[in-house]
Structure 1
Amino acid sequence: MEHLQTQGISLPRLGLGTFRLQGDACRVAVESALSLGYRHLDTAEMYGNEEPIGAAIAAAGVARQDLHVTTKVWHENLAPDAIRRAFDTSLKKLKLDHVDLYLVHWPSRNMNLPAIFETLMKLKGEGRTRAIGVANFTTALLKTVVEEIRAPIACNQIEYHVMLDQTPVREYLAAKSIPLVAYCPLAQGRVATDEVLTKIGRKHHASAAQVALKWLLDQDGVAAIPKASRPESQQANLDALKVTLDDEDRKAIAALPKDTRCVNPGFAPAWD
C-alpha cells in the first residue's frame, strides 16, 4: 500500500469509508477490513458509528502506530468549546488516546475560521490529534485557511470520482502539496454500470468500479476511501491497486460527463 506523507502523518492511499455503516454491521465490516490489510479508517461524529469502530479496532489487535484513524467535527459544532466537546466524545467512543487526523466535516456560513483553527491547533499541540484538516472546502475557503490563517492542514476531503470534475480545487491542493482525499470515489455505485468503464474493465480483467478507483489512485496526491461492508467488496477495492490503465483508457475516462455530484446538502458551500 502506498502512503501520502502530509504534515507529519503517513496516510494510506486506500482507506475504508464508513458512512451509513451502523452497529454490529459496522463493527464486523471494520474487523473484516483490518483483517484484509486496511490500515486507514474514516469516520465522523455525524456518522454515529465511532463506538462500533472503536470496538473493532480493539478486537483486531492491530498495533496503534500501524493504524490511521480520521474523524470529523460536524458543522453545527464549530465554536471552540463545541469542538472540544465533540472531540472528547469522539475519542471516548473510539476508545483511543488520539486520532491521526481531525477534520472540519463541512464549512458553515457563520463560522469563525481563525478561532476554529486555533482550537484544532491546540488539540494537535496536546498530542490528541496528530494532524488537522478540512472536508468539503472550496478553493476560496482553502485560500483563507492556507494563505491567511496559515493552518497546517493535512488534506481536503471532497467528493471526487470519474463523474465529477474537481479540477480547480485539485489543482490548488496540488500546488500547495496538500493531499486530496476522495469520498464517494465510486459515485455511490453509479460507476458500476457505466458502459465505458465496463469496457475498459473487460480489457484488464477488472470491474468498472476497480477501473474508477485506479483512475483516482493514479493521480498524484490523491487518496480514496470507498465504503465497503462486504469482505468481497473490500478485497475488490484492494485489488484495484493492481490494475494498470493506459493512455487510451485515460482518454476514454476523460471524455465521460463530469457533472454528477452525489452529495449536495442544503448547507453545502457554493461549489467551485
Structure 2
Amino acid sequence: MPLPKSFTMKVADGKTIEMPSPGFGTWASGDTGWCKEAVKTALKAGYRHLDCAWMYGVDHEVGAAIKESGIPRSEIFITTKFWPHFGAPEHVELCLDHCLRNLGLDYVDLYLAHWPYVAKPISRSALEVAQASPDATNEERGILMESRKPVVDWEHTVERIALQSGREGSFVPTWTAMQSLVRTGKTLAVGVSNFSIPDLEELLPHSAVIPISCNQIEAHPWFPNTSLIEFARARGIVTTCYSPFAGQRKDGATLLKDPTVVELAEKEGMDVGQLLQSWAVQRGTVPLGKSGTEGRIRRNFEVREVREETGKVLDGLEVRGGEGRTVDFSEGWGIPLFA
C-alpha cells in the first residue's frame, strides 16, 4: 500500500488544505551556500513542501530557488516561523513581512511560533532592520541580551514555562495576533513549534474558528515523541517532524549509523534516510529531512510502506533518560522549554 503524499490540515472557518509530505528542511548551520541548489534539486525531485524560518537566514536562497525552478507558487506549500524576540503580539506580523519580502512571496501556507516562549527585542526599530544571516550577531538580529542570554518576555511566554520560573504568562495574546494574520491573507494557516501538551492546551480554547493547524517537533526513533503526536492527532493538529535523522548524541552516536537501523534499512532495500522518512510518514507525521546531496534528496523523498515488524522495532528504539533528544536549542538559555 503506498504511503500518503499529503496530509489534510485544518484551516480557518472549518476548511482544510493539503500539506505535501515529505517536506524539505532548509535549516543551515553556519552556511547558506548549499541552500539554493539543494532546494532546486528537491523541487525537481518532486518535493512540494519547503520548511523555512526567519532564523535560518536562507529566505533569499529559497526564494531564488523557487523562482528558478519554474514551478508555480500555487503548487508549493511553504512554512515559515518567527523567532521568540518577534513574539510580542505587536511584532509577529513584522517577522512575517520580513520573511515574505526575503522569499519574494505574497503569502505563506503556514506561519508558526518557533518556540513556546517570547524574548524581548532591543527595540521595534531594531526589529525593523533585523538580519537573520547565520553569522549575524544577536545585536544585528535585534535580540536583547543580558549576561549573554536573551531577556525573556515572561508576560507573553506560555503559562507552563512562566509558572516554572515563578512568574505569570500567557501565549494567548500572541496566538490571537497570529490568527489575525490569516484574515490578512499573508498566511493560510497558523500553528506552533516545540509546544508541549500543556502548551497546546493553553491555546485550544482559543482555536475554534482559526485552529492550531500544526505543531512542529523533534521526532525520530531515538525520540519518538509518541504521546505528543497522539494528543495532536486526536485534536486534528498535524505534526511535522524536524530532525527526522536525529543528530549526534553526546556520546558521538548517530541514528544514521545505528546498527539496528542500518540492518533494517538493508532488509527493506532502502538507505537509512529513506527508511526513517518512510517510518515517519507511516506513523502519520510529516518528516522534514534535509540534505545537500542530490542522491539523498531524491531517495529521502521516495518513501514507501515498511513491514509491520520493521515499524515495531523502530518504535522501540527510544533512548531513555532524555538522551534520545539531539536538538535542544534551549541549552544555555536558562529556559525550561521541555519540562
* TM-score in same-fold range (> 0.5): yes
Farther-moved stretch of structure 1 (250-259 vs 81-90): 250-259
1:126 is matched with: 184
1:245 to 2:309 alignment: no
1:218 is matched with: 282
C-alpha separation between the residues in 2 aligned to 1:257 and 1:59? 41
1:172 to 2:231 alignment: yes
Contact 2:265/2:272, CA 8 A, preserved across alignment: yes
1:58 to 2:67 alignment: yes
- Deviation, 1:246, is 1.8
SS at match of 1:72: strand
Matches within 5 A, 1:138-177: 138-148=196-206, 150=208, 151-177=210-236
Deviation by residue 1:128-167 (Cα, 9 ceiling, x = unmatched): 1011010000000001111355451110000000110312
Contact 1:9/1:100, CA 8 A, preserved across alignment: no
TM-score (normalizing by structure 2): 0.75
- Deviation, 1:255, is 2.8
111, 117, 142: which one aligns with 2:175: 117
Deviation by residue 1:12-60 (Cα, 9 ceiling, x = unmatched): 1201101116434211111111111111001101001111111111111
Residues 69, 140 of structure 1: CA spacing in aligned structure 2 closer, same or farther, 3 A cutoff? same
Farther-moved stretch of structure 1 (229-238 vs 208-217): 208-217
Deviation by residue 1:162-210 (Cα, 9 ceiling, x = unmatched): 1103122112101102111010001137221111111111112112222
Deviation by residue 1:212-245 (Cα, 9 ceiling, x = unmatched): 221111013x111001111111011012x13x32
C-alpha separation between the residues in 1 aligned to 2:74 and 2:112? 20
Counterpart AA for 1:201: A
Residues 131, 31 of structure 1: CA spacing in aligned structure 2 closer, same or farther, 3 A cutoff? same
C-alpha separation between the residues in 1 aligned to 2:114 and 2:39? 21
C-alpha separation between the residues in 2 aligned to 1:246 and 1:36? 25
C-alpha separation between the residues in 2 aligned to 1:13 and 1:28? 20
Counterpart AA for 1:224: P
Contact 1:191/1:209, CA 8 A, preserved across alignment: no
C-alpha separation between the residues in 1 aligned to 2:207 and 2:277? 33
Matches within 5 A, 1:185-264: 185-188=244-247, 190-220=254-284, 222-239=285-302, 241-242=303-304, 244-259=305-320, 260-264=324-328
1:16 to 2:24 alignment: yes
Contact 2:116/2:337, CA 8 A, preserved across alignment: no
Which runs of 5 or more residues in structure 2 are unaligned?
119-153, 157-169, 249-253
Farther-moved stretch of structure 1 (207-216 vs 222-231): 207-216
TM-score (normalizing by structure 1): 0.93
C-alpha separation between the residues in 2 aligned to 1:198 and 1:247? 17
Counterpart AA for 1:14: P
Farther-moved stretch of structure 1 (108-117 vs 52-61): 108-117
1:75 is matched with: 84
2:124 is matched with: none
Deviation by residue 1:232-270 (Cα, 9 ceiling, x = unmatched): 11011012x13x322221232233233411111235644
C-alpha separation between the residues in 1 aligned to 2:261 and 2:33? 34
Counterpart AA for 1:11: M
What RMSD over aligned residues (CA atoms) do the two structures have, in Å?
A: 1.8
The structure carrying a bigger helix percent of its residues is 1
C-alpha separation between the residues in 2 aligned to 1:107 and 1:251? 31
1:104 is matched with: 113
Farther-moved stretch of structure 1 (146-155 vs 170-179): 146-155
Farther-moved stretch of structure 1 (60-69 vs 181-190): 181-190
Contact 1:194/1:208, CA 8 A, preserved across alignment: no
